[in-house]
Structure 1
Amino acid sequence: MTNNEVKTGTHFSAIDTGSCQQWPDYTVELPGMEIPGKLFLKNLLNLSGCEISINSMPAGGGMPIYHNHHQNEEVYIFIQGQGQLQVDGETLEIKEGSIVRISPEGERIWRNNSDEPLVYIIIQVKHNSLEQYGLHDATIPEKAANWS
């Protein structure tokens, strides 16, 4: 697979987004706003239960709007860099390894107050929709892997 080529099978879809050093090259255009360093994966991977975005915010950059959501909670997974995330006016220091969940009503904004890129993944899912998870949502067939 090459960058942005989506490979699909009967029960999967896959994409190579490149190394996180390439993530700043992506841009999302929203009505009246352009967000550099962001790629939404829902439509590319035909996701049906969540939205995932990969993100790279440049040194000194910031989310341009304070916002909340109508029905989706978000999980932010910080991979590289450091910055600050505000939720309902409370400032959290974030860095590589920080993971933050925010309920839909939480008003949020974040910034990169360092001199290196802030690289992170955002997972957005409908609040209170998870009914099963882990092995409770799995069937384990009696077969061995065949790595050819």
Structure 2
Amino acid sequence: MSNFKKTTVDMSASRTELHDLLNLTGSEVSINNLPAGAKVPFVHIHKKNEEVYGVLAGKGFMNIDGEDIALNAGDWLRVDPSAKRQLRAAEDSAITVLCIQAQAGSLADYSLTDGVIV
């Protein structure tokens, strides 16, 4: 049995969730593409998961608890589980966003404390 899994996704798809494609067990990762002027059709919160959004291309806005946060390629944004959020592309630009979800407060270790040189 292999200790890794690789997949290839269509980077132009409107949304791709990787949890099933990669058998993820500690996080959810999705790639999201919105055309210019489009928005996620709902406002949402999470019960347990914080989200980290990374803007890979384009520009747009994340409305968080009624406040518009401008987003541009290279920006990263962390959102608390209870924050009401909705992503939208700018009127003149599509946006491509990588979203990572993990249970808030669950990170026991990270690269420098979990990694072991072998």
**Which TM-score bucket, shorter chain as reference?**
over 0.9
Paired residue type of 1:59? A
Deviation at 1:73, TM superposition (A): 0.3
The one of 57, 67, 70 equivalent to 1:93 is 70
CA RMSD of aligned residues (A): 1.2
Deviation at 1:135, TM superposition (A): 2.4
Paired residue type of 1:15? T
Unmatched segments (≥5 aa) in structure 2: none
The one of 8, 11, 35 equivalent to 1:16 is 8
Q: What fraction of aligned residue pairs are identical, expressed as a percent?
A: 35
Larger radius of gyration: 1
Q: Please, what TM-score do these two structures have when normalized by structure 1?
A: 0.76
Q: Please, what TM-score do these two structures have when normalized by structure 2?
A: 0.94
Distance 1:89 1:56 in 2: 22
Q: Which residue of 2 aligns with 1:28?
A: none
Q: Which residue of 1 aligns with 2:16?
A: 39
The one of 64, 84, 102 equivalent to 2:61 is 84
Distance 2:54 2:28 in 1: 14
Paired residue type of 2:9? T
1:56 aligns with 2:27: no
Conserved? CA contact 1:81–1:114, under 8 Å: no
Deviation at 1:43, TM superposition (A): 0.7
- Where do 4+ consecutive residues of structure 1 move more than 3 Å? none
Unmatched segments (≥5 aa) in structure 1: 1-8, 25-36, 142-148
Q: Which has the higher contact order (CA 8 A, sep 6+)?
A: 2
Conserved? CA contact 1:75–1:102, under 8 Å: yes
C-alpha offsets along residues 115-135 of structure 1, whole Å, 9 cap, x if unaligned? Answer: 332011000000000000012
